[in-house]
Structure 1
Amino acid sequence: MSTEFTHDVAVIGGGAAGLSAAVALARSLRSVVVIDAGEPRNAPSHAAHNVLGREGISPLELVASGRREAEQYGAEFRDGRAVAARRIEGGFEVEYDGGASVRVRRLLLATGLIDELPDIPGVKEHWGQSVLHCPYCHGWEVRGQRIGVLGTSDHNIHQAFLFRQLSEDVMLFLNSMPEPEDAAWEQLAALDINVVRGKVERLRGEDDAVRAVVLEDGNEYQVDAVVVAPCFIAQADLYEQLGGTLTEMPLGRFIEAGPMGETKIPGVWAAGNLSNLGSMVASAAGAGVLAGAAINADLVNEDTRAAVRARADAAVANQG
């Protein structure tokens, strides 16, 4: 018994990866539906960087522009959160807010990740503005300023080195991170990175920006920006509903995928931060294009096999 599909492909997530995939698929004359909850990870940021030709564009403007481009090629959009997915004959059924659903032949997950931030007052309030994590996304904007690195893991030492490239005034607050090894101490000293012991109580802000790191002992250290190392958690509920498991790494959890986005679940692809925790806007968009091309090729192969079978069946019928 055959299944009636509403679309060839459902793209879950309308960020850089999902929209780029939707454009690639729609330009290949695939019927595409994008289901998006409208909660881009980089919404708190004023600008997206390292986006060739669109340097410094507002993240929300970039998404709106990408959506218009996908729509002009025929991609459809459903505003809402995809809440359930199950395998059906020949594809998948995806349910989104309100009980509505679509039936599709292939599924691309591009739902991104959640940044689990250090539980310190002031971090969340200034996240994406003067509380940062990526030197490539925001480093230029804080070059030459007083930068504090909030220690929670060994990774913060590497962050301190990266931001030292951008400023001569970098402080590493050990806070709750493990004691650095001897080699790390030597490197920190060689780069003139000041190391501050003691637990951080809070970040003090003023005029919508961080101004100081306050320790539990009451000492304050003046800063213009604070660097943190979030734990990156892929938003992979649908993948797990379909039987997939996440891969663990020191920085978080993600969906393991091949170079074109194919996952271990047949018919399911992943792109963007969901499968690459360190992916920036431009690389996420590139991953979306590759996944869209791979999905189209997979459907072409399936359609070709079906055409060959139909031709053979017709030949048998004619002989009869």
Structure 2
Amino acid sequence: MRRRFALFFALGTGVSLSAAALIACFSPEPKSKIPFDYRDDDTDTKKDAGKKRREDPPQTEEDPPLADGGKPPGRVYAHTAKTLYLFDPLAETLTKIGDLSCLKPGDRLLDIALDRDSVMYGTSDDGFLRIDPVDARCSYVKEDSAAQYPNSLSFVPMGTVDDTKEVLVGYQFDPDAVNEATFYVQIDLGTGTMTKVGDLNPPGAAVKYKSSGDLISTIRNGNKAYLTVRKISDPAPNDFLAEVDPKTGTIKTIVGDIGQKSLYGLAQWAGTAYGFNESGNIIEIDMSTGAGTTLMTLTEDAGVVAWFGAGMTTIAPTKP
């Protein structure tokens, strides 16, 4: 049975969502503003070389309740080619944050990822970006239109790719193939340099896949990672939800058919995944079967607006 939901967005945006829903004009303010000049480079790691590595504090499965006994809002970020949104999957509300301030004419935001502190980075056609999730201000860490940055990004927890810190990873296009994002790469946050870590498909795989558009990984689910994929040999059918190894990027298992295609954004909150696709749909995904159900569709001026990506903190809750 489909649940009712409210759609929240800023006044004067000209953006609407098609759904049988109550529409209100309320935009919740973020609890705190993240410093825009935050950088997670290798300085501390080099300074503390030889010391015992920092351990992640124990993670509970649920965020602490609010003073009134309620739960804090869900915080999933999603974006179109140039605009950032905040989606609350618990209340099923969508808020427009704003247009990316630094994008040059013709450039498009391809994907975003957030670390455990909700510090946001993104990739575009023209480079690698730092983004303020509060107001969508951004700046280029590196401008390089020839780099072909991944359009499927996520931070993976400490102890997967790196023993000392979280690492930003993604699936880059194989330079020897046509439109096949299968190279698992690490991105240096300070320079934007990419280093290959592994491959999506294991050697000798009978059926080979490529990234459809997005990757997620969280600490509270035992460092599991999930990716939207499609078959290389027959890309026309629906996308699949796959579990991948966050250390190597290789497929571990195909969870199931999502029932829709071109999912360019993926996030998880409270044990449920949410896909954002080219048709403007926000799709609730069962993480045990991969089955998807459309919640709402983003439209503008009577036309569908394509989603380009999504992301959430790596310490997002994994239980309702």
Q: TM-score range by the shorter chain?
A: under 0.3
Structure (1 or 2) with the larger CA radius of gyration? 1
Higher strand fraction: Structure 1 or Structure 2?
2
Higher helix fraction: Structure 1 or Structure 2?
1
Q: What TM-score, normalized by structure 2, do the two folds share?
A: 0.24
Q: What TM-score, normalized by structure 1, do the two folds share?
A: 0.24
State the structure with bigger RCO (CA 8 A, min sep 6), 1 or 2. Answer: 1
